[in-house]
Amino acid sequence: MPTDGKESSYEVVFGDVLETLPNYPEKFNLIIADPPFGLEFDKGSHEYGADDYILYDDKFSGDEYEEFSFKWISACHGALAKSGAMYVISGWTRVGEILNAVKRTRFHLINHIIWHFGWGVFARKRYVTSHYHVLFLAKDKNDYCFVPQFSNPNTKRKGEKYEEDVWYWPQYNRGNDPDRAPNHPCQISLAVLEKIVLISSKPGDWIGDVFSGSGGTILACRRLGRNVIGFEKKKEYESTIRQKAKFGEKIIPRAEKLVKKVDLTTFLGENDKDR
């Protein structure tokens, strides 16, 4: 990690990602995408009905959403370097269409990760949704950055770092991140974003923040010494992005230390000694 006090390069580009992203051919080492849900928000719910949220209308039919996904995922493929990778974060309601779209592109699906969080929208007659899907894609299945961060001292392979495909941080849920900014209804925890950045990029790499939203990925990249360009269609989120990503404030990249996650062997109640 740089120690000379050099800051990362960062900016946000406004406009339709299908029009703006092609201006950056093979630019990025990593792209992180948190696409629109393709659903109509219930303004009567406690969270999304609050006055400090700017809601967006992005309702699609199933076929429309798959086609929309195919187009922007294909644009991301062109914007990635030859050894680039991409993470797509999705709720369960649209992950099927996204997976179908990925199959139509030249991406390779490396992993299908589950991020479990300790809180979801309350429900009485169905299971509470308390997870997101995270798809890990690579442009070249044999050439991409992957730097494991987690080691379990209780395993036979003591000290050998690896990563599991279920993520869980007991101190964070979908909505209680201390870095949360007002006005945007869906913000991914910085713990998740920083984990992705640390594992799948190196200091000085260029990161594409597609569907920038509240600007969380920009902040994560600035903290970790990565250069980043955010892409956002809604100009009304500009003030939120600038506030959360601390535009104009000096951020010196910190040492690469992953936000501590729970030991899943404890969480799942299983013995991990055979790993």
Whether 43 shows a pLDDT value over 60: the answer reads no
- What pLDDT, on a 0 to 100 scale, did the predictor assign at position 153? 79
Pair 192, 167: CB distance under 8 Å: yes
Mean pLDDT lowest among 11-15, 37-41, 261-265 = 261-265
CA 18 – CA 20 distance, rounded (Å): 6
Taking the C-alpha atoms of residue 210 and residue 208, their distance in angstroms, rounded to an integer, is 6
pLDDT in tens, 101-125: 999 999 999 999 999 987 767 788 9
d(CA 114, CA 116): 6
The CATH fold assigned to 10-267 is Rossmann fold (3.40.50)
Percent of the chain scored above 90 by pLDDT? 57
* pLDDT tens string 186-228: 678 889 999 999 999 999 999 999 999 889 999 999 999 999 9
Among 33-37, 42-46, 238-242, name the one with the lowest average pLDDT: 42-46
Based on the number of CB atoms within 10 Å of its own CB, is 160 exposed (0-12), middle (13-18) or buried (19 or more)? exposed
- Burial of 270 (C-beta count, 10 Å sphere; 0-12/13-18/19+): exposed
123 within 8 A of 236, measured Cβ to Cβ: no
- In the chain, DSSP finds a helix count (H) and a strand count (E) of 7, 8
CA-to-CA distance for 142 and 188, rounded, in angstroms? Answer: 29
**Domain regions of the chain by residue span:** 10-267
- pLDDT digit string, tens, across residues 122-139: 788 999 888 999 999 999
Residue 10 near residue 231, CB atoms below 8 Å:
no
Q: What is the pLDDT of residues 45-55, one digit of tens each?
A: 334 444 444 44
